[in-house]
């Protein structure tokens, strides 16, 4: 059984996730009245509180009942995010920290701003700190300053890309991180990052539990590739594929401006080709989309180079979009070599494919002009689009509500259009990828007209 999600399809079965997997850990009973009643007393409507029993089904209810024939009470479901009537932390005595890790992504500053504004103005938390340059910011030997984050500090940061906190990759000792949290009397830590970052956050939460401390660790998942499971989409993804369309547009014009012109665009996507797929559909000028989930061969009657040759003979130009993780099997990438985040070091498929195309057409004496475009760093560093800014702010609100209620070892996300709590261990259990048999890839095939398989 599969579920179509935002055009992609994740292939877990209805029985692979149990209700126990969905349990979100708390630091203890929530006994403090929520300050939202007082702080929002001037509004015309009261606070729409969420009960702990409010749930969002993992799978579409109709689909589950049809395929599983199981009682609703036995089906896996997520906690619904939102403000609770009772909270765990007394806001007047609470200190919170924020850290951003990994590569840049549109919306990081929006999330930081949303967290600070929600903590300060909605809950009345007086001390919010920003740790600089990822997990290294907690380690004394690096000597990084800690920022005091106030509403005035973050008032306009959403208007630019990047992160005011800086970022870094690589693991740091969770013992040293918790030592820092203890020294600074921090009660809540918000971690913004991808799957590697969340593994680090999980290790921090485990060290916190080992010491018997009451520190909430809540994640806001950041992955420009949109590859974290159990999320409708990740923040920044919509901005990223929207920005990528500019590169495809340029490649199309370059290709049409030359005899047998080829525009080749490399986009982000280490293991998942969502950006390549969505950007190509948004522009619909791409003739070939190559992603990690669908292996392709260069040589042979139905190989990529021969199909490209036929396209050029017929139409005199072609646009190719390739995700950075595609074709790694041809480049003989060494899985034992990893970067600071523990990810396999990829070979650069863009120049490889460019050179392969040029060499092939030179060999058969076919005139061809290839223009190669890699907009990755431009896309990563742009400011979030308005829809993404809204999404970032709502994620931040959900994260603060969860943390103040004493939830920990969890991330916030959107599922079936509702904001939910997802246990960290479940969120990073496996990677979301484009399903070659799903409707998103079918749309790409229909748009490009490329073969379903390369042989």
Active centre residues (catalytic): 225
Residue 455, both tokens: 């042989």
What does the CA dihedral 105, 6, 399, 146 come to, rounded to 10 degrees?
-10
- What count of other Cβ atoms lies within 10 Å of the Cβ of residue 447? 17
Q: 270, 346 in Cβ contact below 8 A?
A: yes
Q: CA-CA distance, 161 to 153, in Å (whole number)? A: 16
Strand partners, 25: 408
| Number of Cβ within a 10 Å radius of residue 85 | 15
Structural contact between residues 254 and 263, judged by C-beta atoms closer than 8 angstroms:
yes
Q: And the tokens for 216? A: 């909430």
Biggest CA–CA distance in the chain, Å, is 78
Q: Is 203 helix (H, G, I), strand (E, B) or coil?
A: helix
Phi, psi of 3, rounded to the nearest 5 degrees:
-125, 130
Round to whole Å and give the CA distance between 221 and 201: 11
At 273, list the tokens. 């080709």
| 66/63 Cα distance (integer angstroms) | 5
> For 166, phi and psi rounded to 5 degrees?
70, 175
């Amino acid at each position: 059984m599969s579920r179509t999600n935002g055009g992609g399809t994740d292939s877990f079965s209805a029985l692979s996730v149990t209700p126990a997997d969905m349990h979100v850990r708390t630091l203890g009973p929530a006994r403090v009245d929520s300050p939202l009643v007082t702080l929002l007393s001037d509004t015309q409507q009261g606070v729409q509180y969420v009960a702990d029993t409010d749930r969002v089904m993992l799978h579409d209810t109709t689909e589950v009942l049809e395929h599983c024939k199981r009682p609703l009470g036995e089906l896996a479901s997520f906690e619904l995010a939102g403000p609770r009537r009772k909270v765990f932390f007394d806001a007047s005595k609470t200190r919170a920290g924020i850290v951003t890790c990994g590569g840049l992504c549109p919306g990081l500053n929006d999330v930081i701003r949303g967290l600070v504004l929600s903590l300060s103005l909605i809950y009345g938390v007086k001390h919010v700190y920003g740790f600089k340059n990822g997990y290294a910011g907690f380690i004394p030997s690096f000597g990084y300053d800690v920022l005091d984050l106030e509403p005035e500090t973050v008032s306009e940061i959403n208007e630019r890309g990047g992160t005011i906190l800086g970022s870094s990759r690589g693991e740091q000792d969770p013992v040293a991180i918790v030592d820092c949290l203890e020294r600074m009397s921090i009660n809540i830590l918000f971690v913004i990052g991808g799957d590697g970052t969340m593994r680090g956050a999980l290790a921090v939460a485990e060290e916190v539990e080992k010491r018997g401390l009451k520190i909430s660790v809540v994640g806001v998942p950041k992955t420009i590739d949109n590859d974290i499971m159990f999320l409708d989409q990740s923040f920044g993804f919509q901005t990223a594929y929207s920005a990528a369309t500019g590169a495809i547009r340029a490649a199309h014009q370059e290709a049409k401006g030359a005899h047998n012109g080829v525009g080749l665009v490399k986009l982000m996507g280490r293991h998942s080709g969502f950006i390549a797929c969505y950007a190509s559909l948004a522009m619909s000028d791409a003739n070939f989309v190559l992603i990690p989930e669908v292996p392709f061969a260069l040589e042979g009657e139905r190989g990529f180079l021969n199909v490209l040759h036929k396209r050029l003979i017929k139409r005199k130009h072609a646009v190719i979009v390739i995700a950075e993780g595609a074709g790694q099997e041809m480049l003989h990438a060494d899985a034992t070599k990893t970067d600071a985040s523990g990810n396999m070091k990829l070979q650069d498929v863009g120049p490889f494919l460019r050179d392969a195309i040029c060499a092939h057409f030179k060999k058969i004496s076919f005139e061809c002009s290839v223009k190669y475009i890699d907009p990755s760093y431009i896309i990563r560093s742009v400011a979030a689009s308005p829809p993404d800014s809204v999404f970032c702010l709502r994620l931040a609100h959900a994260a603060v509500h969860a943390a103040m209620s004493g939830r920990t070892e969890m991330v916030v996300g959107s599922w079936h259009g509702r904001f939910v709590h997802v246990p960290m261990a479940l969120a990073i259990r496996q990677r979301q990828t484009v399903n070659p048999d799903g409707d998103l890839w079918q749309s790409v095939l229909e748009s490009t007209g490329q073969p379903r398989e390369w042989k």
